[in-house]
Structure 1
Amino acid sequence: MIKVLVVDDSPVAQELLVYILQNDPKITVIGRANNGKEALTFLQSKRPDIVVMDIQMPEMDGIEATRRIMETNPLPIIMVSSFWNPKEKEKTFIALDAGAVAFIEKPGGVQHQNHETTSRHLTNMVKLLSNSEFLRPKADKAIQATCIKNEVILEKDREAAGKLKLIAIGASTGGPQTIQMLLKNLNKKIPVPVLIVQHIAPGFVNGMVEWLAKTTSFAIHVAHDKENALPGHVYFAPDGHHMGVKSNLTIFLENNSVPENGVCPSASFLFRSVAENIREKAIGVLLTGMGKDGAQELKMMRERGAITIAQDKNTSIVYGMPAEAKKIEAATHILPIHDIPVILEKLTLNRCASQLNK
């Protein structure tokens, strides 16, 4: 059984969370707390597998509680956030900085139209994270370029360096903090645009973009249809739209999009457009996340001559999408997250020859 601690100051919300979790035969709620202070007291004597916690609470909020838990008794923490509350959405990403592994939309009551979907998302997330090795990526230290071994960059990569036009990235669970780490350690002067599909709850992409813009050195945007992708800029697919790119680096969005691999936006859609239009002048990167979105199309990119990278198991918060890519041999490189910005920088800035000899 997966043991869960539920932390929420609202008696109604707390009862609903417990009800949803206890309805799954693989989950048991071993404790409840009304705020972060009570949660810390509970954790002094008992250890759940996962903490499900609200953000805004009296006495001690979810952000401060997360910081203290990660300092003294590290555990996977899932934040539940109200998508309709702008202040709470902003704090959600601060909670990720504090150490939370993931966040989800707070489920509505049993009569709410999204109750079944959000409830299933919560229980699936709890089970998923309980089966994964808990890992908190560290983004506070600059990564040294010397950590890439000479043999990692292939002769084919050296030939491609300097001709590259685009980096395309796909991520799901654990993606926001992993992307933050990547961007913090990637040179903002890279001469190519970066297009990213991140699976995220509706209503949160704008908050994520604002958070990343504040915590990294990049110009980061929610993409618009027919927008030209500029070098050194980062573009995220907007809510409910698949994002692709044309050969002239014009972004296009598909309206009224049908989910692909169960998600919208989809990394598969982006990677497929890159394979068809950018071909060997692209780099594809598949990061942490559940499912298989993007894996087959990453292989398509590889077959068209692109450099393709999948995050390794040890540094993936959830080893799903990159595992599928590895399984079907879609990636030319399997790398830990701290090596990925290094190889991207070397390739796009055409530093291969000089740095490989160091």
Structure 2
Amino acid sequence: MKILVAEDDLDNARLLENILRKNEHSVEVVADGAKALQRLRDEKFDALLTDWMMPEMDGITLIQRVRAEVESTPLILMITAINDDDARQHFLLAGADDFLIKPYRSGDVVRILSDGIARLNQPPPEADVRVVTPVKVNGLPPFVSVVVAAGTGGPSDIHQFFRSLDRNCPASFFVVHHGPDWMMKLLARQLKQESGLPCMVAYQDLQPIRGHVYVAPGDHHLAFSPPPVSLELNQDQKENYMRPSADHLFRSAANIFGKYCIAVILSGVGRDGSRGARNIKATGGAVFVEDPKAAAAPSMPQTALDTKVADAILPLNMLGEAVSDQVLRLNKELAAKKKEE
């Protein structure tokens, strides 16, 4: 693996270089963000490990510029001694895939790198050579559901998506974001403040309500139990190297909500969401995808396009309105069918 390290502290740079070389990685070290950005423009690297506080260009600015300006973006890890929720959110919002807190152990470096590269380099899902058999949905669901998937770059995308929604959008929203539990709690609090919608971290056996937002907790898959619909949390095997996984949520949503389910796939590394989106399509649901050309991490939305599951590919600022319109149509249809029962 070819790795670029941006670190102005010579001792820390040597420590990191030794750890990486002992694990048979090719390593290049630069002392500031400006030099790192130039090297990434000149050559392709598999991973960038960057310190936060550096001369010339700090790590946050470097990450933002790499996401915006480097065509073949590597795995990006932030290295910092600052260990609080606000700081961690700051560099994850900037576009870091993960982080290392100083002082770190060599095993932490190897594990985070291995997991990140495996997620980044997942092979594409199998081509649609087989037909996805629609699942049988028993009866009508209580409401229209919108299931949202996001990874790297996801927090800011999630915020923008919910800001652009109609505040009276008659659906329930279920969010999978790749991140630790503290980040999910923070995301839920911020979404509640910004969107005006009731928002909380999901918990076992909770019965969801229309008009509310539920965020999957860290290290737990989110799924649905049959009517009366309730939420189910589990720690089953990771999917796409992630837990929570969007594929896990999407499959379960397809089983419960059928055509009254809308999937939204936002910025993220890897392919999470594309397989589960096929289940949603098979039951008549719709799939909306952020335009990967403008995404901080395009691989999740791009994989959805490559597997031909997307009904609409839209810029982030247009997704909320499009989803709101689709929800209104489905809600009217669902209400009419319930009257017929």
Question: So what's the TM-score if we normalise by structure 2?
Answer: 0.71
Aligned to 1:31: 30
Q: Which runs of 5+ in 2 are unaligned?
A: 42-46, 122-141, 333-341
Hey, what does 1:253 align to over in structure 2? 233
Contact 1:226 1:250 in 2 (8 A): yes
* One-letter amino acid matched to 2:230: T
Equivalent of residue 273 in structure 1, options 252, 256, 259: 252
Which residue is equivalent to 1:132? none
Offset of 1:67 from its aligned partner?
A: 9.1
* CA displacement 1:57-96 (0-9 Å, x = unmatched): 5999958x629975xx9677945267993x2x32222345
Contact 1:96 1:177 in 2 (8 A): no
Map 1:99-110; keep pairs closer than 5 Å: 100-106=94-100, 108-110=104-106
What are the superposed Cα offsets for residues 243-300 of structure 1, whole Å, 9 maximum, x if unpaired? 012444421112x321123221111111111111111111111222233222122111
Cross-structure match for 1:318: 297
Q: Determine which of 201, 205, 212 is the counterpart of 1:233.
A: 212
Q: 1:184 Cα deviation (Å)?
A: 2.3
Name 1:148's counterpart in structure 2.
none
**What's the CA shift string for 1:155-212, capped at 9, x where partnerless?**
xxxxxxxx96110012222222221221222233222121011122465333343444
User: Percent identity between the aligned chains?
Assistant: 22
Aligned with 1:106: secondary structure? strand
Residue type matched to 2:61 in 1? T
Structure 1: gaps of 5 or more residues: 34-38, 129-162, 354-358
* 1:162-311 map, 5 Å: 165-201=144-180, 203-246=182-225, 247-254=227-234, 256-311=235-290
| Cα-to-partner distance string for 1:291-350 (whole Å, 9 max, x where unaligned) | 322212211111111112222331233332333322332222222322211101222245
In 1: Cα distance, 2:170 partner to 2:285 partner: 17
Whether the 8 Å CA contact 2:180–2:219 is kept in 1: the answer is no
Identify the residue that residue 6 of structure 2 maps to in structure 1.
6
Paired residue for 1:91, among 77, 87, 91?
Answer: 87
Contact 1:6 1:18 (8 Å CA) reproduced? no
**Preserved contact between residue 8 and residue 54 of structure 2 (Cα < 8 Å):** no
Letter in 2 for 1:319: P
Q: Is residue 99 of structure 2 the alignment partner of residue 119 of structure 1? A: no
Q: What is the distance in 2 between the residues matched to 1:58 and 1:214? A: 34
User: Is the 8 Å Cα contact of residues 115 and 241 (structure 2) preserved in structure 1?
Assistant: no
Q: What is the identity, as a one-letter code, of the residue corresponding to 2:231?
A: I
Superposed, 1:116-155 pairs within 5 Å as: 116-121=110-115
2:79 & 2:200 partners in 1: Cα distance? 23
Q: Distance in 2 between matches of 1:15 and 1:219?
A: 48
Distance change >3 Å, CA 122–CA 281, structure 1 → 2? closer
Measure the CA separation in 2 of the matches of 1:205 and 1:15.
Answer: 34
Check conservation: 1:172, 1:289, Cα contact below 8 A.
yes
Letter in 1 for 2:256: N
Equivalent position of 2:61 in the other structure:
66
How far did 1:216 drift? 4.5
Cα distance change of structure 1 residues 11 and 232 upon mapping to structure 2, 3 Å threshold = farther
Q: Secondary structure, in 3 states, of the residue corresponding to 2:31?
A: strand
3-state SS of paired residue (1:204): helix
Q: Give the match for residue 53 of structure 1.
A: 50
- What is the rounded CA distance, in whole Å, between the counterparts of 2:148 and 2:63 in structure 1? 32
Q: Is the 8 A contact 1:92 1:103 kept in 2?
A: no
State the alpha-carbon separation in 1 of the partners of residues 185 and 79 from structure 2. Answer: 15
> Over the residues paired in the alignment, what is the CA RMSD in angstroms?
4.0
| Contact 1:93 1:208 survives alignment (8 Å) | no
Q: Would the alpha carbon gap of residues 25 and 218 (structure 1) be closer, same or farther in structure 2, given more than 3 Å must change? A: farther
Rate the CA distance shift 1:79–1:105 in 2: closer, same or farther, 3 A.
Answer: closer
**Length, aligned pairs only:** 300
Greater alpha carbon shift after TM alignment, 22-31 vs 214-223: 22-31
How far residue 221 of structure 1 moved from its aligned partner, in angstroms, is 1.8
Compared CA separation, residues 217 and 2, structure 1 to 2 (3 A): farther
Say which of 78, 81, 93 aligns to 1:80.
Answer: 78
Kindly provide the amino acid, as one letter, of the partner of residue 204 in structure 2: D
Q: Distance in 1 between matches of 2:64 and 2:306?
A: 35
User: Quick one: structure 1 residues 59 and 333, their matched pair in 2 at CA, closer, same or farther if it must change by over 3 Å?
Assistant: closer
